[in-house]
Structure 1
Amino acid sequence: MLQGNLVSITAQQVLVMFLLILVGYLAVRCHILDAGARRSFSSLLVNIVVPAMIVNSYMTAFDPEILANLVRTALVSLGVLVAGLAVALAFTCRMRHPDRPLIRFAITFSNAAYMGFPLIEALFGAEGLLYASIFNTFFNILIWTAGMAILDPKASQGNLLLELAKKPALLAVAAGLVLYLGQIPVPALIAQPISLLGAMNTPLSMLITGAIIATSDLRAVIRSGRLWLILVLRMAVIPAVSFLLCLATGTGGMVGAVVILLEACPCAAITSVFAVQFHYDEQLGAGAVVASTLLSIFTLPLCALLVPMMG
């Protein structure tokens, strides 16, 4: 039953993402949008939409009855995320290509929020979503600290704390944690605009990806060994490492399933956005998002088959 639901939900999520990418592609091809608009959209996404999505994800009720599982989820989530970063750094340490930072980012960070959360909600309900939110906390902290240091190494050489304090998304993580841990009620008049802005995250990311594809030579990208390195590590090696880590720590059941499935998701949709923001190969960034999302139709159900082995 788990595998059947997972296949159906994954296929539906992938189809939605590709339709959104198609809209962005056609908008540029039909001259509705200028190809350069992706830079303005990227700035809007990173500085307003993503912070709103992060804050919105923390506006949920805290259940003290499952506190022990929350602690375990926190520890395992941190472990698999750091392990994923270690895999990316280890396999690219001898690479001298100028796009190495983008490649490392694409390998390390999954599309957990959009691809993962609907799967977790459908398969495990509210409790599963709570564990997913804990994973998302560490994911957001890592993406806006280590992820930014990878993509913008010059900035990381200066006052790192000052640079991080300027990141709207990291400020949103801090605000979200205060709201969640303090169970501070947010008035509907404020919560609704935050929710609406946050809901723009995936559509806007996919529109940007489509706009990049409209001006790209994807055939050249597909033939690139760098893309295949990203796909193999992101879609096969990192999920395998996550599974082994959960197995070694005795993390099974719902907690193990949630963490593994979130870490097994395709490349983060924001990869293509950061390729634009930080002036890396935009075609490679878009290609990684599209190709890994397509592959997830096959790899996520395979991960679901392995989850019961943990007991």
Structure 2
Amino acid sequence: MDFFEIFQKMLLLLIVIAVGAAATRFHVMDEKTNDALSDLVISVTLPCSILYSVVNSDRLLDNLQVVSLTFLGIAVALAMIVFSKAMVVVLKVPLTQRNLCRYMMIFSNSAFIGFPVLKAVFGPDSVFYAAVYNMVSMILSYTYGIVLISGEESRENKNRFNIKMILTPVMISSVFAYIMYLLNLQLPAVITETLGFIDPVTSPLSLLCVGCSLARIPAKKVLSAWRVHLAIALRMILFPVLCFYILQALGVPLMINGVVTVIAAMPTAASTTMFCARYGNDQQLASSAIFVTTLLSAVTIPLLCRVLF
């Protein structure tokens, strides 16, 4: 793929993020607006986009390949856990920051930035594959992720994992889309048209929310904890390359390889600060990492796509 073509797509996404940041600076958006829009995306528009990606796409994968993609997600998640554990030791990340650093390495911004990028680079069909792959990450984030964020001493934490945590609209719509695809179910035309009418707003709303979040980060915190930022940056560069060539050697289809590779190259998850607030970890460190890695992704993602695809 042409570097400048991909860079233009990333630049478009970054401009929308910048619009969200500017709107926050000029008090058009604020924390309450961002929370409301985030809830709208997570609870309404993104589930609609996931469902629409199934009803509006060709069956490019058979059922066995879809199930294989699920197990691939599990395998990649396990590899990421091992990779993150090794990197924090190699880079000598301070002990007090290691769990949060590992969380930010394992869980990338697949929903708010990953889905728009995949849709821009690989087309709308990639959204369903990303949703299937993302189910594994979502379950892991509400289980193992909470263990990392809250720390090992959190056995008495009242906010520990509850099965209701993963019963989110995104998770439910992903499972429903998964079943629809396996059973080749079709929705009534009016519902399909409704989903298609809502689908286009998901990407811009998601990116506006990212911009609003980034605008509230204190400037002096951005360059702190450079070892954490470096660890995440290396995950964004090294791990996708390893994934791509390993999956290519195994004969994995290019679309699936692309979904896994691009999601692995995403900046750290925007939801990290939410988890930090709930489980008593460093919100400013999380916010600074989101800011630095989101800016970095504007260069690294086009480069990776240019070199690998």
TM-score (norm: length of structure 1): 0.74
**Which residue of 120, 127, 137 maps to 2:132?**
137
Structure 1 position 92, deviation (Å): 4.7
- CA shift at 1:253, angstroms? 6.3
Q: What's the secondary structure of 1:216's corresponding residue? A: coil
Query: 1:214 Cα deviation (Å)?
Result: 2.6
CA distance in 2 between counterparts of 1:188 and 1:281 reads: 47
1:53 correspondence with 2:46? no
**1:116 alignment counterpart:** 118
State the Cα deviation string for residues 268-287 of structure 1 (Å, max 9, x = none): 6xx22452465265555454
Q: What is the percentage of aligned positions where both structures have the same residue?
A: 17
Gaps of 5+ in 2: 148-156
- Alignment check: 8 A CA contact 1:106 1:230 kept: yes
Which digits, 9 at most, give the CA deviation of each residue in 1:130-159, with x for residues without a partner?
6x73353022x123210122454457855x
**What does residue range 30-69 of structure 1 map to in structure 2 within 5 Å?**
30-63=26-59
Contact preservation (8 Å) 1:264, 1:300: no
String of CA shifts for 1:139-198, please: whole Å, max 9, x gaps.
Answer: 2x123210122454457855x54543x322211111111222222222232223333444
Instruction: Give 1:166-185 correspondences, 5 Å limit.
Output: 166-185=167-186
Query: Structure 1's 89 and 187: CA in aligned 2 closer, same or farther, altered over 3 A?
Result: farther
Q: Structure 1 60/92 Cα, relative in aligned 2: closer, same or farther at 3 Å?
A: farther
Q: Which residue number in structure 1 is paired with residue 152 of structure 2? A: none
CA distance in 1 between counterparts of 2:274 and 2:165 reads 20
Size of the aligned set, in residue pairs, is 290
Range moving further from structure 2, 101-110 or 28-37: 101-110
Task: Compute the TM-score of the two structures, normalised by the length of structure 2.
Answer: 0.74
Once residues 253 and 303 of structure 1 are traced to their aligned partners in structure 2, the CA distance between those partners, rounded to angstroms, is 18
Equivalent residue letter for 1:37: T
> 1:242 Cα shift?
1.0
SS of residue in 1 equivalent to 2:186: coil
- Offset at 1:95? 5.7
Q: Distance in 1 between matches of 2:164 and 2:271?
A: 23
Residues 214-236 of structure 1 deviation map (CA, whole Å, 9 limit, x = unaligned)? 33223421333222322222x12
The verdict on how the C-alpha distance between 1:64 and 1:277 changes in structure 2, with shifts beyond 3 A counting, is: closer
Secondary structure at the counterpart of residue 32 of structure 1: coil
**Match for 1:272: what amino acid?**
A
Contact 1:149 1:155 in 2 (8 A): no
The structural deviation recorded for 1:84 is 2.4
Distance 1:72 1:267, change over 3 A: same
- The alpha-carbon distance between structure 1 residues 106 and 50, as it changes in their structure 2 partners (threshold 3 A), is farther
Distance in 1 (alpha carbons) for counterparts of 2:284 and 2:199:
26
Tell me the residue number matched to 2:246: 245
Query: 137, 140, 147: which one pairs with 2:141?
Result: 147
For structure 1, the residue ranges without an aligned partner over 5 or more in a row are none
CA contact (8 A) 2:115 2:130 kept: no
Aligned residue for 1:17?
13
Q: Distance in 2 between matches of 1:287 and 1:43?
A: 22
Question: Does the aligned pair in 1 maintain the 2:221–2:284 contact within 8 Å?
Answer: no
Structure-1 residue corresponding to 2:266: 266
State how far apart, in whole Å, the 1-side matches of 2:284 and 2:10 are: 20
Q: Given the superposition, is the C-alpha separation of residues 216 and 178 from structure 1 closer, same or farther in structure 2, using an over 3 Å criterion?
A: same
Kept after mapping to 2: 8 A contact 1:209/1:272: yes
Match of 1:200 in 2: 201
Residues of 1 paired with 2:29 and 2:251: CA distance?
48
Map of 2:154 onto structure 1: none
Residue in structure 1 matched with residue 221 of structure 2 by the alignment: 220
Of 65, 69, 78, which aligns to 1:82? 78
Change in 2 beyond 3 A, CA 1:199/1:288: farther
CA contact (8 A) 1:209 1:273 kept: no
CA distance in 2, matches of 1:278, 1:196: 35
- Report which stretch shifted further, 180-189 or 75-84: 75-84
